[in-house]
Amino acid sequence: MHGIVRPKALVGERRSHGGTFARLLGLARANRAFILIVLLPTLIAAAYYELFAANQYESNADFIVRRADSMAASSNMGQLLGFNIGSGATGADAVLVQQYLLSHATVGELAAKDDLVGVFRRPEADWFSRLWFADPEPERLLAYYRRHVDVEADDSSGILHLTVHSFRPQDSYHIALQLLEMGERQINAINERTYRDNVASSLREMAQTRQQLAEIQTKLTAYRRAHQDVDPESTGKAQLTLVTGLTGNLIEARARLRAMGGVISHDSPQYRAMERQVRSMEEQLAGQSDKIAGPNQSVANRLSEYEQLVIQRDEIAKVYAETAVRSQAAQAEARRQQLYLIRVVNPNMPVKSEFPQRWQMIVSVFAGLFLAYAIGWLLWAGVKEHSM
């Protein structure tokens, strides 16, 4: 006997195992490109998402940006025609708030007040998902922030959808709440600037006109005090009435004097008394006439100066009334143009982690790599076919 005689069954079994392993090894060698390009990265992604990827919690909120005039129009007509809540939303204003919530200014304020960097560097965050730098540059922090915070606008309804991802439920809820409050403050600041720009000029013009009106009124008061006459115009009318009455009385007295002269002697006491009465009335009339139209401090001179002041006051008062109307119109227009941020859905406190979506990500990695492999294989097969 030479050597050891083995049972045929055992020899066959070893050959079977050796053949299976060889076939598997040959199959792996034949498809090594598929394994390296598709299967191995997919397995690595699966290991990461199933074993290492940290849970992330999402908080959502919905809001719209509308103007006061659109709110009034939609409240009146929308109830009749069935418009939705976003029908009065202003696209440009919504984009303005959207861009602000995703801007350096918002990130800087959150970083200063709410330790945004610490929120994105929680201990439970995995190495790949967390913010790597404890003191990142503003651009790097903004880029990371935009991967975890998103504001999308629905063009059909005008509603803005806010989503926040973080590694703790409280962080997501707090950031979403802060973003809504910051959006409201930004809207209020825009309203204040718009109101100030639209109304300030009309208010300044009205203040200047009011000052001019006060100055001319002061001159009128000083004039009345200087001449001890509250209403020179009424005084002038009274003087004219008095002169008219004296003139009539004088004419009547002269007529009686002439009639008396034809009947009695001019030396008679009655005639002389009547003559003295006529002279007295003439002197009184001359004095009153001098007060009305004389060269010194007459009613005519004083009334001319007074009327000029009154005309100036009336003109300025008319201008003031016009500026007041324009100011009221500007204020009303500014109020109509005011923006409002209306919360449709307040931020929610997440309870269950829904991100990352592990199986969806694994399938997406496999599908993407498989598609890339298939395209590469087709290209390589085409090159080989043309080279033969």
pLDDT in tens, 166-225: 999 999 999 999 999 999 999 999 888 888 887 888 888 888 888 988 888 888 788 777
Q: What is the rounded distance in angstroms from the CA atom of residue 292 to the CA atom of residue 92?
A: 71
- Given a contact cutoff of 8 angstroms between Cβ atoms, the answer to whether 37 and 373 are in contact is yes
Show the tokens assigned to 90: 């202003």
Amino acid type, 126: D
pLDDT at residue 256, rounded to an integer: 79
Contacts of 347 (CB under 8 A, 6+ apart): 59, 60, 61, 162, 164, 173, 176, 177, 180
Nearest to 86 by CA among 65, 69, 100, 101: 65
- Given a contact cutoff of 8 angstroms between Cβ atoms, the answer to whether 59 and 355 are in contact is no
Q: Taking residues 366-379, what's their average pLDDT? A: 90
* Half-sphere exposure at residue 26, Cβ-oriented, CA atoms within 13 angstroms: 6
3-state secondary structure at position 66: strand
pLDDT at residue 158, rounded to an integer: 87
Judge residue 198's burial from the number of C-beta atoms within 10 Å of its C-beta, 0-12 exposed, 13-18 middle, 19 or more buried.
Answer: middle
Nearest to 62 by CA among 160, 147, 188, 173: 160
The phi-psi region of residue 3 (left if phi > 0; otherwise alpha if psi is between -120 and 50; otherwise beta) is left
pLDDT at residue 101, rounded to an integer: 96
Rounded to 10 degrees, the C-alpha dihedral 307/310/315/321 comes to -160
Nearest to 323 by CA among 206, 235, 152: 206
Q: Taking residues 103-107, what's their average pLDDT? A: 96
pLDDT at residue 9, rounded to an integer: 47
Q: What is the rounded distance in angstroms from the CA atom of residue 301 to the CA atom of residue 296?
A: 8
3-state secondary structure at position 349: coil
The percent helix, strand, coil of the chain (3-state, each to 5) is 70, 10, 20
pLDDT in tens, 124-148: 999 989 999 999 999 999 999 999 9
Q: Taking residues 317-323, what's their average pLDDT? A: 89
Least confident of 31-45, 74-88, 295-309: 74-88
List Cβ<8 Å contacts ≥24 apart for 181-188: 182/100, 182/101, 182/106, 182/109, 183/63, 183/97, 183/100, 183/101, 183/341, 184/341, 186/97, 186/100, 187/65, 187/97, 187/339, 187/340, 187/341
- pLDDT higher than 80, residue 263: no
pLDDT at residue 388, rounded to an integer: 60
Q: Confidence class of residue 229 from pLDDT cuts 50, 70 and 90? A: low
Alpha helices in 56-168 (DSSP H): 68-73, 79-81, 91-101, 104-114, 116-119, 138-148
Q: What is the rounded distance in angstroms from the CA atom of residue 234 to the CA atom of residue 237?
A: 5
* DSSP 8-state code for residue 315: H
Give the 3-state secondary structure of 30-64: HCHHHHHHHHHHHHHHHHHHHHHCCCEEEEEEEEE
Beta bridge mates, 66 = 89, 340
pLDDT in tens, 51-87: 888 999 999 999 999 987 765 555 444 444 444 444 4
Average pLDDT value for the chain: 80
- pLDDT higher than 80, residue 44: yes
pLDDT in tens, 192-208: 888 888 788 888 888 88
Q: Confidence class of residue 162 from pLDDT cuts 50, 70 and 90? A: very high
pLDDT at residue 171, rounded to an integer: 96
pLDDT at residue 123, rounded to an integer: 93
